[in-house]
Amino acid sequence: MREIVHRHLGKVVAGTAVAVAGTAVMVGITLPGTAGANETGGTNGAGTQAAQQTGQGPDAVRPGVVEQAPAAAKKGTGRDPLTDDEIQRVEKIALNRQLLTSGENVDGDHGPQRLSVDLADPEADELDDPGAPRRADVTFYDYRTDTLVTKTVDVESGEVVRTGTQHGVQPPLSRAENAEAADLLIADPLGAGLKADYKDATGRELTSADQLLLNGAVYRATPGGQPAVLDKCGEHRCVRLFPKVKNGPWIDARWLVVDLSARKVARLAH
């Protein structure tokens, strides 16, 4: 646990410095008006510089124009990715009152944990139809029942055309789930090594997931491969974390697993 994986940054920094220096030299060589400044033809270096300053002459440097980015479309067409407006709308439609009051998210609050909103695949008979309806798959995880809930919403009409529930299906973890797993680990006695490594790297105490960059992978139980407390992983939502100090090294936490459903932490045997 106390192993810290360091990156060799010295060569990268040195290489960057050389690259920057090289770029500076190139800029110095190719600045407008310097090439040919001593050539004949009726204009000397001073004349060229004056022409550039007044915005005249063939080599004059004209002011740049910054154009505003086009406004994001509120509605997509065909197989275009869902727009921000469409995502917000279908998520609100999918999260009906029943699901909101009966479900539970990773923090234990009302409402299921939102995982993803994606453009749904067309039906088999719609593959060559450019006017096929746009549908969105809105995916939630209900921690109260350990159920993956997928609602398919017709983007144009707002109708929920299909609802699916699955148990034992564990899609990739959301950012909120990784953060909650880190907070549970930090608060657990098994997180002592993580906190010690963080202090060694930064000189500061680790008290919150906000201090780390987090990646996580779903952990599934294997027969006899983990402590009994993790035997339900796969049915439960469990995560192995790969934390990184912000602007610093990775910290090895691969032997620790957080069961988000049971809110417990356990250590795998090496």
Rounded Cα distance, 117 and 137, in Å: 6
Rounded Cα distance, 194 and 56, in Å: 64
Q: pLDDT means per 10 residues in the chain (270 residues)? A: 41 36 37 41 45 52 56 74 95 92 95 96 84 93 97 95 96 97 98 97 97 97 91 97 96 97 93
For residue 90, the SS3 value is helix
Model confidence, pTM: 0.70
Please give the pLDDT value at position 4: 45
Please give the pLDDT value at position 76: 83
Q: Residue 154: exposed, middle, or buried by beta-carbon count in 10 A (0-12, 13-18, 19+)?
A: middle
Rounded Cα distance, 47 and 39, in Å: 12
| Largest separation between any pair of C-alpha atoms in the chain | 89
Please give the pLDDT value at position 77: 83
Please give the pLDDT value at position 224: 85
Side chain identity at 203, as an amino acid letter? G
The two tokens of residue 250 are 């990775």
Please give the pLDDT value at position 6: 41
